[in-house]
Amino acid sequence: MRILHHLEQSRSFRILWALEELGLDYEIKFHKRLPNFSAPSELKMIHPLGKAPILIDGDQVLVESAVILQYLQETYDVGMEFQPLNSTTKQQYRYWMHYAEGSLMPLLVMHLVINSVEKHTPFLLRPMARQITSGIKSKFVQPRLKDHIQYLEDYLSEHEYFAGRFSFADIQMSFPLDAIQTRTGKRYPAIEAYLERLSHRPAYFRAMSKEEVLS
């Protein structure tokens, strides 16, 4: 039996969705975040880093979203429904699988951390913290994030999915794109339309319904 260790409000939704797309049997072990939003310590009993998602399949303990998604596709996609169709889309598939966490998510995480610094700073030091974080955000984070968003907006205005047809690269990219829509306070038409397309997939709906019950 496959076991998905699913952390509240985390990237592990990707794996839940992929399991539903493949129609696999699995069990969910749900973990709530601590009041400081960190993961509970029991996850370290499963993997030393204590991060989610974690997928246990037989004697294998798999971590990192891209690794798990690739494993699931290569192992269980017997009908090759989610496999890239040719060498061009295969290269796109590889690129977007790594781009999501390697290039885009670090900026989004930095944006989130900077926005939370002030409220975790002692009251008398908040003006100084605000000045420092505002400078970092305006001179470093926002210009780079703007470039990425425009890049994605342009790409999705010309492509229905990231690697030809729907693939697990779309599952991988869905998390940072949803974060862009919710955390930046702005709307991007092509990104919004893309996320809407994904939300109409039956497997996405089933995964979301299961997560809502768990939460």
Q: pLDDT tens-digit profile of 68-102?
A: 999 999 999 999 999 888 999 999 999 999 999 99
| pLDDT tens-place string over residues 111-163 | 776 666 667 677 656 776 577 667 666 667 788 999 999 999 999 999 999 99
Distance CA 116, CA 80 (A): 43
Strand partners, 86: none
- Contact (Cβ atoms closer than 8 angstroms) between residue 176 and residue 108: yes
Tell me the pairing of strands 2-7 and 54-57.
antiparallel
Element (H, E) at 7: strand 2-7
In eight-state DSSP terms, residue 25 is -
Which pTM was predicted?
Answer: 0.89
| pLDDT tens-place string over residues 189-208 | 999 999 999 999 999 999 99
Tell me the pairing of strands 26-31 and 60-63.
unpaired
Give the per-residue pLDDT at 199. 96
Give the per-residue pLDDT at 154. 97
Distance CA 148, CA 180 (A): 10
| pLDDT tens-place string over residues 4-44 | 998 887 889 999 999 999 999 999 998 888 777 678 888 88
Give the per-residue pLDDT at 204. 97
Nearest to 100 by CA among 177, 212, 45, 182: 177
Q: Is the peptide bond before 53 cis (omega within 30 degrees of 0)?
A: yes
Domains with residue ranges and CATH for the chain: 2-82 (3.40.30.10), 87-200 (1.20.1050.10)
Judged by phi (left if over 0) then psi (alpha if -120 to 50, else beta), residue 50 lies in: left
